Amino acid sequence: MKNILVTGGAGYIGSHTVVEMLNMNMNVVIVDNLRNSKEEALRRIEKITGIKPTFYKVDLLDRSALASVFRAEKFDAVVHFAGLKAVGESTQIPLSYYQNNVTGTLNLCELMIKHSVRNLVFSSSATVYGDPHKTPIKESFPRSATNPYGRTKLMIEEILQDLYDSDNAWNISLLRYFNPIGAHPSGMIGEDPNDIPNNLVPFISQVAIGKLNKLAVFGADYPTHDGTGVRDYIHVVDLAKGHIKALQKLSENPGIQAFNLGTGRGYSVLDIVSTFERVNKVKIPYETAGRRPGDIAVCYADASKAEKELGWRAELPLEDMCADTWRWQLQNPNGYE
Ligand code: NAD
Ligand code: UDP
């Protein structure tokens, strides 16, 4: 797998994955409409790697523009990150989420068929497990969705299964990410939320730098060791490396397979706050608030399938996730602007 199309490659996880791909001497072509990212991320990728990836500012919903990309380039595989990802927003504008995520994927797959590209790595999410009946979560657990965003991921997984059933020449990796955090250790690329962050670690980071006053801890009455919600936080660089392993696996013709990409360890909200404070020598004021609707108590992966079948395991500890987040925030107080 040498020539790779990366949709959404200017985004948070995409940009980190492109860096790892360029480090492996892969030829990368990025397609991104920059709806939730900045072109500056691409310049930073070049600064880190010394290589400028080919970039097309194209929306997956624009079929003719996407078709031109497939005519101009040659691909062995596609890594498909492009999608809208905000759970709350998806409940406000569900049709946009279905249109963007589902129709975007259909357009992409149609062109892949037309150009005989049958290798795909798809960004799925642990959200497809809904409220899991137990933890750690295995790939074989039942799937369900609790919001439109999660339903787009579930629908796309099912569409890709149907596609594989219709033609076994496809090789598809459904990567179910747990909670990606952190940034590249250079501090040059990282997560750059447009508005007030919804996710825990970007929020903490903006409290630490003084842009936000204090963290609201959503729920302190969960059945966990300190009452706050537990998640499986994974360093974005480890996650990026999982995509390289998934691409390598596709060359063995594995068919369609789902993999959990997590560390297998759960940390509570207060664990994250105290580690961030300790590692970065900052104070994070917080107050306990009510539970956030739709949140579950505990979510962490059984990541043994990825270890056994992809030869991949998350290696970077929570301390590095917190230190790298903070370096990115300090070096880029206003993100990419
Ligand atoms: P991101 O928003 O930073 O990156 C997504 C990129 O896709 C952005 O650059 C955006 O501009 C682009 N994009 C969106 N719609 C597009 C379209 N129609 N055409 C072209 N480009 C388009 O998000 P991320 O955190 O890097 O997430 C990448 C993928 O991983 C998403 O599919 C997301 O749902 C999935 N995921 C993310 C998380 C997470 O916590 N970050 C967890 C699980 C799954
Ligand atoms: N959380 C919180 N305050 C915030 C944002 C998140 O207490 O401002 C909690 C949330 O309830 C959950 C955990 O932090 O227990 C991770 O939330 P995030 O939104 O980052 O990820 P997800 O809910 O998608 O797992």
Distance 218 CA to ligand 2 centre (A): 7
For residue 17 and ligand 1, the question of a CB distance below 6 A is answered with no
Domain count, the chain: 1
**Six-digit token pair at 212?**
């936000």
Q: Is the pTM of this model over 0.95?
A: yes
Bridge partner residues of 180 (DSSP): 234
What pLDDT score was predicted for residue 103?
98
Tell me, what's the pLDDT at 299? 97
* pLDDT attached to residue 259: 99
| Residue-range definition of the domain harbouring residue 173 | 3-181+234-262
Answer whether residue 335 is part of any domain: no
Is 31 part of a structural domain of the chain? yes
| pLDDT digits 0-9 by tens, 101-123 | 999 999 999 999 999 999 999 99
The reply to whether ligand 1 has any atom less than 6 angstroms from the CB of 81 is yes
User: What does the pLDDT read at residue 198?
Assistant: 93
Could you tell me if 189 and 41 are in contact, meaning their C-beta atoms sit under 8 angstroms apart?
yes
Residue 287 located in a structural domain: no
Task: Give the number of other Cβ atoms within 10 Å of residue 247's Cβ.
Answer: 25
Residues in the chain, pLDDT under 50 = none
In a domain, 136, yes or no: yes
Closest CA to 231 of 176, 297, 286: 297
Which CATH number do you get for residue 87?
A: 3.40.50.720
Residue pLDDT, tens place only, 216-242: 999 999 999 999 999 999 999 999 999
pLDDT at 125: 98
**What is the largest distance, in Å, between two alpha-carbon atoms of the chain?**
55
- Which atom of ligand 2 is nearest the CA belonging to 296? 15
